[in-house]
Each structure stands twice: as structure tokens, then as C-alpha cells.
């Protein structure tokens, strides 16, 4: 399967949000995931607290927000939230719960949740709460990353490149191109496999074969070279890719 340019451009609309949804009620999980995807959020959905912790413990940087149910098999949402904060992690957490007693809300907020939504709720309210979290944490992922003369501007989804004589140039990337370049820039001079890239940039269980990654790498390379950058991405056939630092 090869992604067409149209498919790729569908992702360009807004600043990307990757959501970890932790909800064990199937109907509600399906409804939330569908709603978020319609809004172009990337969604990883897990139904068990222990599984959620393994997503968060090692890969929390890929998420922008966690939607966390309180009552879960494995670890409870409250316990997950406490663990996250105990590690000094400030990832925004929106807790979902049927509990609406005052002391439960206090317990949720004390555990480090940033907001609280009582079931049942409407999808419009969920989206409004997510937008509010984005406004409250505008800097959560808005810093810049500079590697090898390339700067990623998270706030504006742009790349700023600097050539050998110090001239600066700005250009935009699609969300996928941006995520891909970010991944390469965070792993310079390392061989990264197609599977590592796919796991990092596409949703869990997404049907994205190695040719999707290859197509995306081609688009990113073209974008870089069309904007006067040297191509830093080396293809290692049958192995993966390497982002080479030139200096």
C-alpha cells in the first residue's frame, strides 16, 4: 500500500496531537477514538492500566495528552497518574470517571490530573476540554530542536535551515514529515529500522507497511533538498536509515 500525496496532505491541517486513550469500556472507547480521529488526532487506545503504564513509562514523549479512565483492570487511573507524577512527568492528563463526589475529584486532582470529566459526557465537551488543555500547556511541545543546521519549530510546524554561509531559510512540513524529521534528528548517526520508525510515527495497529515509511522518507528528502538542504538521510537497503551529521 502506498500513501498518495492526497492522503499525506490530509494530515497537514493542525499541530499534531497524539493521544493515549486508556478506557476499558468498549463502546465508549470506540466512540472517543472515532471522534478524535475525525479531528485528526492520532490515537493509541489501550484498555488496561498495566498496558497503559508500559506505553507511558518508556514512550511518554510521543504523547501530547492522556485521556485516563479512573476504574481500570490492572492499575487504576489514579495509580497511573501518581506514578507518572512521581517520575516528574508533566504530561497533561484528563481523567474520566463515573465518580462525581467531591472527595473523588479532589483525589484525582491531588494525584496530578490536570482536568476531570464526569461520565456520561458529550463528545463536544471532551473536545473542548482537550482544546483547553492545549491552551493551558502551549509550551508542552513547543520548544525548538536544533541539530546539524536544522531547527524544528514546534509552535509553527516549520523547519529553519541554515546553509554554510549562515543564510536562514524557513519552510513548512506536513505532520508526518515533521514527525519523521524529528525522529531522525533525535537519533543522529544511528541506524534506525523501518519498523522503529513505523512504531514511532504511525498509530499502534495501523496498517502501514515498510513502503509507507519509504514513501514518507522520499517526500521528506525531496522537501529538504528542494529547500536547499543537503540530504542528511541515508538509506541502508534492507536495514533502515541513518541521519548523518555532516560536521
Q: Applying CB under 5 A, which residues contact Ca ion?
A: 24, 69, 71
Q: What angle do CA 187, 192, 194 make, to 5 degrees?
A: 135
Please report how close the Cβ of residue 93 comes to Ca ion at its closest, in angstroms. 15
The least CB distance from residue 97 to Ca ion, in Å, is 8
The nearest distance, CB 131 to Ca ion, in angstroms, is 24
Shortest Å, Cβ 53 to Ca ion? 16
Q: Which is nearer to Ca ion, 97 or 174 (CB)?
A: 97
For Ca ion, which is the closer residue by CB, 24 or 153? Answer: 24
Residue placing its CB nearer to Ca ion in the complex, 56 or 78:
78
**Which CB atom, from 21 or from 224, has the smaller least distance to Ca ion?**
21
Cβ-closest position to Ca ion: 71
**Which CB atom, from 123 or from 160, has the smaller least distance to Ca ion?**
123
Q: Residue 36 or 173: which CB sits closer to Ca ion?
A: 36
Alpha carbon of 16 to those of 35, 59, 128, 197: distances in Å? 15, 17, 16, 17
Nearest approach in angstroms of CB 58 to Ca ion is 24
Least distance (Å) between residue 150 CB and Ca ion? 43
Contacts 24+ apart (CB under 8 A), 156-161: 157/15, 159/227, 161/224, 161/227, 161/228, 161/229
Amino acid at each position: 500500500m502506498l500513501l498518495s500525496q492526497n492522503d499525506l496532505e490530509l494530515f497537514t491541517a493542525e499541530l499534531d496531537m497524539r493521544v493515549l486513550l486508556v478506557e476499558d469500556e468498549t463502546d465508549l472507547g470506540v466512540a472517543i477514538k472515532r471522534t478524535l480521529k475525525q479531528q485528526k488526532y492520532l490515537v493509541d487506545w489501550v484498555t488496561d492500566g498495566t498496558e497503559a503504564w508500559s506505553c507511558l513509562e518508556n514512550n511518554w514523549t510521543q504523547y501530547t495528552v492522556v485521556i485516563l479512565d479512573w476504574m481500570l483492570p490492572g492499575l487504576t487511573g489514579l495509580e497511573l497518574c501518581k506514578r507518572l507524577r512521581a517520575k516528574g512527568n508533566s504530561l497533561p492528563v484528563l481523567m474520566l470517571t463515573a465518580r462525581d463526589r467531591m472527595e473523588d475529584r479532589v483525589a484525582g486532582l491531588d494525584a496530578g490530573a490536570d482536568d476531570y470529566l464526569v461520565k456520561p459526557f458529550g463528545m463536544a465537551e471532551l473536545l473542548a476540554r482537550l482544546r483547553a488543555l492545549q491552551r493551558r500547556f502551549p509550551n508542552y511541545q513547543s520548544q525548538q530542536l536544533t541539530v546539524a543546521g536544522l531547527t524544528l519549530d514546534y509552535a509553527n510546524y516549520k523547519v529553519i535551515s541554515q546553509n554554510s554561509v549562515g543564510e536562514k531559510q524557513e519552510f513548512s512540513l506536513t505532520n508526518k514529515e515533521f514527525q519523521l524529521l524529528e525522529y531522525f534528528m533525535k537519533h543522529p548517526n544511528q541506524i534506525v529500522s523501518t519498523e522503529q520508525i513505523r512504531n514511532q510515527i504511525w498509530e499502534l495497529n495501523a496498517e502501514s507497511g515498510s513502503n509507507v515509511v519509504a514513501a514518507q522518507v522520499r517526500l521528506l528528502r525531496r522537501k529538504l533538498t528542494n529547500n536547499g538542504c543537503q540530504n542528511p538521510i541515508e538509506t541502508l537497503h534492507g536495514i533502515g536509515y541513518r541521519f548523518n551529521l555532516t560536521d
